Structure 1
Amino acid sequence: MEKLLEQIKKGTVWAFPGGVHPPQQKTLSNSARIARLPLPDKLVVPIKQHIGANGKLIVEKGQQVLKGQALTVPVANWSVPVHAPSSGTITDISPVPSAHPSALPELSIIIEPDGKDQWCELTPTPNPSELSHDELVDIIHQAGISGMGGAGFPTYVKADIKQPIEFLIVNAVECEPYITADDVLMREHAKQVVQGIELMQQILNPTLCIVGIEDNKPEAIAAMKSAAEHNANIVIQTVPTVYPSGGEKQLIKLLTNREVPSGGIPADIGILVHNTGTLFAVQQAVYEGKPLIERVVTVTGNTIHNAGNVWALLGTEVKHLLDCQGFSPVPQQRVVMGGPMMGFTLPTVRIGVIKTTNCILAPDHKELAEPGPEKACIRCSACADACPASLLPQQLQWFAKSKEYDKLQEHNLFDCIECGACAYVCPSEIPLVQYYRVAKVEIKEQQAEKIKADRAKERFDARKERLEREQQERQNRHKRKPAAKTPDEKQKVADALARVKSKSSDGDEKSAVAAAIARAKAKKQQGEELEPDNSEVAKERALRKEKARKYKEQKAAEGESSSAPDDKKSAVAAAIARAKAKKAAQAKQSAEPQNDEAIAPADDKKAAVAAAIARAKAKKAAQAEQSAEPKNDEAIAPADDKKAAVAAAIARAKAKKAAQAEQSAEPQNDEAPAPADDKKAAVAAAIARAKAKKATKAAAQTQQSDEASAAEQTCDAEPENSQVSPPADDKKAAVAAAIARAKAKKAAKEAEQSAPSEHSAPEQINEPQTSSGSDSEETSSEQTAAEKKKAAVAAAIARAKAKKLQKEGNDQS
């Protein structure tokens, strides 16, 4: 630190990167003293002339004001008031074009001066050293002082900074071409400027104050050294003439060899910078009590006959300044507010002077030529070499054109001081600074929108949380709070729970029931609505259900194992029985047309009707046989192969018996609808006899085929059964043989009885007939002989089978 101070006091100056050397053109305006202009006809005072919030209006239209009277009061942070530049009447308060490149309208107070230029009451401070820090800051704040050499930062904010300040730097460089306002001010009012520096030293208490002045201002340097020679803490430092050495960060680098971090401010490294005009305004506010209502403005250019510096009241129209200095416009004249490097062309000369206006430039076409059309970048890197902030202007311009704002911020766009050095050296005449300004505005708008969205989301989340909390509170209010329990009640509950646990340890159903009863009693004693505990009862119930399910499964398995026959063999036997029944039905149907043709009646229509009736009855009988077969097969399912064969034979016998009973009943059914007419009766009797004969013949054929197939199955099944499983016992064999003999006898008896019964009814019916009666007797005699023969054969076969079965039973025993 001591080494740095020694270097600074010796006059050491460090260099900053980049920079250019444009023509100075300062001699046009720095040769004459500061002039005082006559009062203008109108003063247009914008209520915002600085960075920060607007002040609040405290005047109204038509009101008389005095010179120095406050027109607004600060109401927010970074807000400073504005004052009346002269006495007069407020004629209007309305938006007018602003002193900005966009010329957007801003609310302004329009004052018509009365010519008296009468001051309001002032409160000067002859001995400022007696004032406290806060009092000095308040005077600066109420005087409406803001930065007069840059962007218009409120001076009271810098004065009231809480960070320790090591170096106070006074920016008296004034590097912009044509501008000489600070130069002339230091020449004529060096003492007042030094007094302003001392006031800031009293407020900030810095280690050292450095006044930086370019070496092209020798008279100002001499005047400042003379005014500050009594103060050892003020150093007047001469710096080389290079643009933009007047930039805040560049001047800090020149005088202290320190660099302000990207995105930071000088206070972050213990440095504070003020402009010469700002310090003069501080001195006027404290020592004289005057607010900031005027400033020095350079009016210059080749179209100005009396170029120089003037005291301009804030709000004075630019036209008034030009007219007072001898303005001779040229065709397509341009008027620039500020210097040729960082200034901007005014859309109209009816715009008023503000606190940051330091120059009005009216050049001719030779001085400041119109820029040509933008050409393609040739990548010469001249812009990067000239940039004092060590940026990449070409890259920034590409990102700005493509609106890649994230990349612009990554490449430190906001470190650009908009000095215009890059555009000045660009051979393609690309307006680089204009691209940067537009991109900065759009990025700031996006950031503002994001902040608004974030705040809206925070408000929404807070509201949602509040509503949920209120809803929860409402629900809790409706819940009944349980009454506080006394120690005796708690002990009773504990005892009851202990008894329940001891009883439930047995694990049986009674313990669960007892536990439930105990809990119910405990609830009744307490008189509260406690939550029931049915866990033990539920466990017992689930156990009982599981036992019942297992029991049912076991019984079902036993039933299936006890009643399940040999599926394959029983299915074969049932299929054989059904096939034989179908064969008998087909035989009946095939024999039916022949009989119908043999006994065709004379009347075709009646014969057809009778044949249809006979066919229907035959089909019905066949269906009855088929429907009866599965039931009989299923009902008499044997356990082994031999029993299955016997059961199949019994089923077939029962089916035959049912068919014979149906056939024997047909003539009786035919008797009911017997016609009254003799001819019809004869025809019906003939039909009935034919049907009986047909049924008897079919039954005999079916019986023979069934007996033969049963005998074959029995013979075939015996060796298999003898090989696969052991034979049945003697008792079962004897029973089976006896059943077979009984069925054979019964079948033979029924066959003998069916022959006369089938023919007796027709004979009685046909007694009155003459010719047809003899034919029927001959036919019935032939049928009886054949049937007897078949019945005898069937009986013999049955007896043979019975003997065979009996013999097999004896052999097995």
Structure 2
Amino acid sequence: MDNNFEDIVKKLDKNELWDFHGGVFPAEKKTLSNQNPIAQLSLPKYLYVPIKQHIGVEGQLIVSEGQNVLKGEPLTKSSNPFSVPVHAPSSGKIISIDNHVSAHPSGLPELTIKIETDQQDKWFPLTPLLDYQNQSKMDVISAICSAGISGMGGAGFPTHIKIGTTKQVEFLIINGVECEPYITSDDRLMREHAWQIRQGIDVLCHLLQPKCVLIAIEENKPEAMEAMEVACKESSDYKVVSIPTKYPAGGEKQLIQVLTNREVPANGLPIDIGVMMHNVGTCFAVSDAVFSGKPLIQRVVTVTGGAVASPGNFWAPIGTPVSHLFNEANYNSKAQKQPQAIMGGPMMGFSITDENVPVVKTTNCILLPDAKESQTRKEQACIRCGACADVCPANLLPQQLFWHAKGKELDKAQEYNLFDCIECGACAYVCPSDIPLVHYYRVAKSEIKTEQEEKLKADKARERFEKRAARLIAEQKARDEKHRLAAEARKQAMDSKGNTAKDKIAAALARAKAKKEAASTPSSEAVKETATENTSTPKASSNERVQAAIARAKAKKEAAQQKLQQAEPSPKDSAPAPDESNTVINENQEQPQELASTSDASSKASEDKKAKVAAAIAKAKAKKLAQQQEKDDAPETTENSEKGSSKTKTSESDLPDNAEANALALKKQRVAAAVAKAKAKKLAQASKQQAESSDDDTKTSTAKADATDDSNNTQQTLDEKKQRIAAAVAKAKAKKAAQDANKMTEDDK
């Protein structure tokens, strides 16, 4: 049979509908609570507002303990697309923000805001959207989200997510079926507030632009159907459709199948087949949010059952503890064998064990059955009758699902489409073994969701790790590429400048090498001069130094003699002395000849050594002469003076280095000492000063010789060390000879 839009509309005009598989017909018992108007519940002392009351993510807290709040003031804000805020149901003070028993089959505690009401019910400032048709769709959707509206007839899916779709909507279905026994909250809401529900439908049509609006109401609610027909008669696109009384005709997938003969695919959504569905309670909340600016802070709750003396429907603030509803409905615990309360209907509800469980946005009924209504029986073994499969509206195999769920074979349970189960309870209703099948299905679903969440977390962690590893690799590659490009750029720059950098480096290395060579070897000019001197006159340098030293010593000696003659003129002293100049000349001639002969046989280093030895001898002679002049007290004869002078000259020229030469020198020195006794002490002091001056000159000459030698190589430095040792030895010998001469002089006296 065709299920396109035109064919569906034609069948609906003829009041022809389709049917779904299975279903049951339990006792309705709706008349217990639908005879009286909705009552306004008194404010309890404490309100318990869970921060999550919908499918999705909880909002972010924006209040703190001890804070005073007003009615309708936001307690959380949306921090995620699948998050809706919650609001204060009444004015008061926040006592605590802590875990509290939840309105869930497990009863596990969840984060809850506890408010102590001040009984004044003061409103927070409201901001309605009276001209919503002139507002952008996003502004209207944002207002609905800020009002905290989520689905009020089922699982609590965020409304702003559903109406924010961009897909084409052919049928907008308003669900007013309310098929479960005992529950009459939607029935009374349609009877009393049909116009506001119509306003909510107008807002949804403005956002979704559907081709047709179907308002589905079960046949056992004639008053509600009439009220909605009156409210919607102005629009031909709004069709109020009567649905046969059959449980669970109010299920989303089942109702779509009844009205359109379209089947929602597994793991799919109604929008995938062009259908959007909202509960009448949701439409009323949308109207309040847009036209009054009121957030979702209360809802209609049915309180009924055989253990209630005054069953009925109440406007219950969100967060009201169920114990307060018990008191309003005059709960009689004696009518029960044991205390029992069910949140929801007898088919899909769950038992609550704590009277402080709060009313939430999805709470539509509190059932307090008496002993006859409960009739709880003990679970027995499955007899495999197959009755559960016959009544399953989702056309599943409840028996196989039960076995796999009970045996924790979760993979097998999913293969049998466990999540297509709407938990209507029809299978458990007809089970002759009284097996709570829905309970097993819920537990299995919860375990599977937990495993999926853990797997999702692990996958996200692995994905983050892989992304991080890939990012690090990419960054390393980028760095390597950057370094490569920089190196190429530097190379190109060096090539473009004619290898300037390389030239500079080579020049610097060459300068360093030349400097090092200059430090280790004499300069080329010095080598050249030395070579020239060695080639032309190898003896000149050393001879000149020796002659200069001897000339200085001779000049000082002559100056001392002249001063002596001027101070003590006498016939003897005035007599001509032996020709000392000739003697000195002979010395100058003989010594250079000896040095020259030695120089011919040795190297330049030997010549330097002899020069230093000669300087040391001259220094020793000067000191010795000064000492002798101080000791001499009486003048000697001219003959002794001539002999001493002759002997002194001989000692200056012929001083040998062996022991016999030393003895001869000592004898000559004794003769010279006798002549020196005639000199005065005053002249002796002057001679001493002149000797010291001669010592300084000798040192200067030696320093010059050392400076010249510094330019020689390492071998020359070693030779100089040997020369200094030889000079020291000669000096020591001269000093010892002087001491021996003094001793002999004293012996002669």
TM-score, length of structure 1 as denominator length: 0.58
Find the counterpart in structure 1 of residue 367 from structure 2. Answer: 361
Find the counterpart in structure 2 of residue 386 from structure 1. Answer: 391
Letter in 1 for 2:436: P
CA shift, 1:7, in A, is: 1.2
Find the counterpart in structure 2 of residue 346 from structure 1. Answer: 352
**Distance between the aligned counterparts of 1:153 and 1:72, measured in 2?**
18
Q: Which one of the candidate residues 340, 343, 349 is aligned to 1:337?
A: 343
- Please give the per-residue CA displacement for 1:503-555, whole angstroms capped at 9, x wherever unaligned: xxxxxxxxxxxxxxxxxxxxxxxxxxxxxxxxxxxxxxxxxxxxxxxxxxxxx
The question of 1:245 aligning with 2:249 is answered yes
Q: Which one of the candidate residues 124, 129, 132 is aligned to 1:128?
A: 132
CA shift, 1:477, in A, is: 7.1
Find the counterpart in structure 1 of residue 80 from structure 2. Answer: 76
- Please give the per-residue CA displacement for 1:760-787, whole angstroms capped at 9, x wherever unaligned: xxxxxxxxxxxxxxxxxxxxxxxxxxxx
**Distance between the aligned counterparts of 1:469 and 1:201, measured in 2?**
51
> CA distance change for structure 1 residues 472 and 36 in 2, over 3 Å: closer, same or farther?
closer
CA shift, 1:365, in A, is: 1.6
> CA distance change for structure 1 residues 462 and 23 in 2, over 3 Å: closer, same or farther?
same
Q: Is the 8 A contact 1:34 1:296 kept in 2?
A: yes
Find the counterpart in structure 2 of residue 574 from structure 1. Answer: none
**Distance between the aligned counterparts of 1:146 and 1:139, measured in 2?**
13
Find the counterpart in structure 2 of residue 278 from structure 1. Answer: 282
> CA distance change for structure 1 residues 462 and 318 in 2, over 3 Å: closer, same or farther?
same
Find the counterpart in structure 2 of residue 371 from structure 1. Answer: 377
Q: Which one of the candidate residues 457, 461, 469 is aligned to 2:466?
A: 461
**Distance between the aligned counterparts of 1:117 and 1:456, measured in 2?**
47
Letter in 2 for 1:181: S
Aligned residue pairs, count: 490
The question of 1:254 aligning with 2:289 is answered no
What is the DSSP-based 3-state SS (H/G/I as helix, E as strand, rest coil) of the residue aligned with 1:453? helix
> CA distance change for structure 1 residues 398 and 33 in 2, over 3 Å: closer, same or farther?
same
Unmatched runs of 5 consecutive residues or more in structure 1: 489-813
What is the DSSP-based 3-state SS (H/G/I as helix, E as strand, rest coil) of the residue aligned with 2:240? strand
Letter in 2 for 1:339: G
TM-score, length of structure 2 as denominator length: 0.63
Q: Which one of the candidate residues 15, 19, 22 is aligned to 1:15?
A: 19
Alignment of 1:26-41 (within 5 A): 26-41=30-45
Identity %: 56
Letter in 2 for 1:27: T
The question of 1:54 aligning with 2:58 is answered yes
CA shift, 1:26, in A, is: 0.3
The question of 1:107 aligning with 2:102 is answered no
CA shift, 1:354, in A, is: 0.6
**Distance between the aligned counterparts of 1:454 and 1:325, measured in 2?**
50
- Please give the per-residue CA displacement for 1:711-754, whole angstroms capped at 9, x wherever unaligned: xxxxxxxxxxxxxxxxxxxxxxxxxxxxxxxxxxxxxxxxxxxx
**Distance between the aligned counterparts of 2:494 and 2:78, measured in 1?**
66
What is the DSSP-based 3-state SS (H/G/I as helix, E as strand, rest coil) of the residue aligned with 2:374? coil
> CA distance change for structure 1 residues 133 and 476 in 2, over 3 Å: closer, same or farther?
closer
The question of 1:311 aligning with 2:315 is answered yes
Q: Which one of the candidate residues 267, 270, 273 is aligned to 2:271?
A: 267
CA shift, 1:430, in A, is: 1.4
**Distance between the aligned counterparts of 1:175 and 1:183, measured in 2?**
10
Alignment of 1:493-508 (within 5 A): none
**Distance between the aligned counterparts of 1:292 and 1:474, measured in 2?**
56
CA shift, 1:469, in A, is: 4.5
Q: Is the 8 A contact 1:333 1:364 kept in 2?
A: no
> CA distance change for structure 1 residues 477 and 122 in 2, over 3 Å: closer, same or farther?
closer
The question of 1:214 aligning with 2:218 is answered yes
Find the counterpart in structure 2 of residue 402 from structure 1. Answer: 407
Find the counterpart in structure 2 of residue 163 from structure 1. Answer: 167
Find the counterpart in structure 2 of residue 149 from structure 1. Answer: 153
Find the counterpart in structure 1 of residue 181 from structure 2. Answer: 177
Alignment of 1:604-615 (within 5 A): none
Unmatched runs of 5 consecutive residues or more in structure 2: 497-749
What is the DSSP-based 3-state SS (H/G/I as helix, E as strand, rest coil) of the residue aligned with 1:54? coil
Letter in 1 for 2:455: K
Q: Is the 8 A contact 1:21 1:242 kept in 2?
A: yes
CA shift, 1:32, in A, is: 0.4
Find the counterpart in structure 1 of residue 603 from structure 2. Answer: none
- Please give the per-residue CA displacement for 1:638-680, whole angstroms capped at 9, x wherever unaligned: xxxxxxxxxxxxxxxxxxxxxxxxxxxxxxxxxxxxxxxxxxx
What is the DSSP-based 3-state SS (H/G/I as helix, E as strand, rest coil) of the residue aligned with 1:43? strand
Letter in 2 for 1:341: M
**Distance between the aligned counterparts of 2:34 and 2:79, measured in 1?**
40
> CA distance change for structure 1 residues 123 and 477 in 2, over 3 Å: closer, same or farther?
closer
Q: Which one of the candidate residues 417, 431, 436 is aligned to 1:426?
A: 431
Which is bigger in relative contact order (C-alpha 8 A, separation at least 6)? 2
**Distance between the aligned counterparts of 1:106 and 1:170, measured in 2?**
32
What is the DSSP-based 3-state SS (H/G/I as helix, E as strand, rest coil) of the residue aligned with 1:366? helix
Q: Which one of the candidate residues 280, 305, 329 is aligned to 1:301?
A: 305
**Distance between the aligned counterparts of 2:193 and 2:54, measured in 1?**
25
**Distance between the aligned counterparts of 1:57 and 1:194, measured in 2?**
34
What is the DSSP-based 3-state SS (H/G/I as helix, E as strand, rest coil) of the residue aligned with 1:107? strand
CA shift, 1:404, in A, is: 2.2
> CA distance change for structure 1 residues 460 and 177 in 2, over 3 Å: closer, same or farther?
same
CA shift, 1:33, in A, is: 0.5
**Distance between the aligned counterparts of 2:166 and 2:395, measured in 1?**
31
> CA distance change for structure 1 residues 198 and 117 in 2, over 3 Å: closer, same or farther?
same
**Distance between the aligned counterparts of 1:185 and 1:11, measured in 2?**
25
Find the counterpart in structure 2 of residue 735 from structure 1. Answer: none
Find the counterpart in structure 2 of residue 93 from structure 1. Answer: 97
> CA distance change for structure 1 residues 212 and 460 in 2, over 3 Å: closer, same or farther?
same
CA shift, 1:434, in A, is: 1.3
> CA distance change for structure 1 residues 470 and 217 in 2, over 3 Å: closer, same or farther?
closer
CA shift, 1:414, in A, is: 0.7
**Distance between the aligned counterparts of 2:261 and 2:294, measured in 1?**
37
**Distance between the aligned counterparts of 2:77 and 2:174, measured in 1?**
29
**Distance between the aligned counterparts of 2:387 and 2:129, measured in 1?**
53
Alignment of 1:265-664 (within 5 A): 265-330=269-334, 331-372=337-378, 374-470=379-475, 481=488, 483=491
**Distance between the aligned counterparts of 1:40 and 1:348, measured in 2?**
16
Root-mean-square deviation (CA), in Å? Answer: 2.2
**Distance between the aligned counterparts of 1:468 and 1:226, measured in 2?**
69
> CA distance change for structure 1 residues 485 and 359 in 2, over 3 Å: closer, same or farther?
closer
- Please give the per-residue CA displacement for 1:227-269, whole angstroms capped at 9, x wherever unaligned: 1111111100001111000100000011111110111010000
Letter in 2 for 1:58: I
**Distance between the aligned counterparts of 2:241 and 2:272, measured in 1?**
23
Find the counterpart in structure 1 of residue 518 from structure 2. Answer: none
